[in-house]
Homo-oligomer: A and B are copies of this chain.
């Protein structure tokens, strides 16, 4: 396999960095090719702005969607973005690794998504009409590839449980797993999440490392989250609302977009 790991923590001696090294070593020991985009080490530019679109005339309005479409089409994206796009096309598996800050990814990683997931590449792909709303949610440029998250959370696991005050971790990560990874086509694996990171000791680290090694060993065989295909008949077009009666009785919210287990 060819694996791209995008890493977002500012400290090379952090717990996240140690877990990254565990994952990379396990994958390389199994003969896989691994590339790491260490965003802080790369001094990655976090925010999208005019500098991302050198073809934009001075004085011309910056409409991010239109500018992104034009830059991708005319191959005028900046070099740092082009390199990341090439890595994504090269890899058959993408891993995003980050500490959970304010219940989502750090700004620098969000900026990687905002800048690299260009129109024509990660969105705005395929026919958009009253009959078809693009190639997305299970189709798209990155279809057939796999993706997963490696997340370190400061709070207790129970705080992120089905009744925990922070909200269930699967719901907190849905905008990333479904909205960012599944959207351009990735098959998304269940995330690896470790909790209570401020209370880590040698023993807990070794247990987490063992779990992570097992996840890396099974990267090719782990069953992906059964999100529904947008264009497989489950949704009305163009309103993209789930057809009546398809859901597991009693289910609502994000979980509607999971296929029923019996399906």
Q: Please give the residue numbers on chain A whose beta carbons come within 8 Å of chain B beta carbons, in ascending order.
A: 10-11, 13-14, 40, 44, 46-50, 61-65, 99, 101-108, 110-111, 113-114, 117, 137, 154, 156, 158-159, 161-168, 171-172, 174-175, 178-180, 183, 198, 228, 230, 235, 238-242, 250, 252-257
Measured between alpha carbons, how far is A180 from B172 in the docked complex, in Å? Answer: 12
- Write out the residue numbers on chain B whose beta carbons fall within 8 Å of the beta carbon of A183: 102
Q: Is the CB of A175 within 8 A of B167?
A: yes
Measured between alpha carbons, how far is A64 from B105 in the docked complex, in Å? Answer: 14
- Write out the residue numbers on chain B whose beta carbons fall within 8 Å of the beta carbon of A11: 61-64
Most buried by B among A99, A158, A167: A167
Q: Is the CB of B110 within 8 A of A162?
A: no
Measured between alpha carbons, how far is A40 from B172 in the docked complex, in Å? Answer: 27
Measured between alpha carbons, how far is A117 from B4 in the docked complex, in Å? Answer: 31
Closest 9 CB pairs of A and B: A107-B111, A46-B46, A103-B179, A158-B239, A107-B110, A47-B108, A103-B175, A165-B240, A11-B62
Q: Is the CB of A159 within 8 A of B107?
A: no
A-B contact pairs, 15 of them (CB 8 A): A14-B62, A46-B111, A47-B106, A64-B99, A104-B110, A107-B111, A107-B113, A159-B240, A162-B252, A164-B239, A164-B241, A164-B242, A165-B242, A171-B254, A172-B175
Cβ 8 A contact of A14, one of B40, B63, B165, B242: B63
Q: A62-B11, A111-B47 are in contact. Are A230 and B102 (CB under 8 A)?
A: no
- Write out the residue numbers on chain B whose beta carbons fall within 8 Å of the beta carbon of A250: 250
Q: Which chain B residue lies CB-closest to A101?
A: B114
- The minimal Cβ–Cβ distance linking A176 to chain B, given in whole angstroms, is 8
- The minimal Cβ–Cβ distance linking A251 to chain B, given in whole angstroms, is 8
Q: Is the CB of A48 within 8 A of B106?
A: yes
Measured between alpha carbons, how far is A99 from B49 in the docked complex, in Å? Answer: 14
- Write out the residue numbers on chain B whose beta carbons fall within 8 Å of the beta carbon of A174: 167, 171
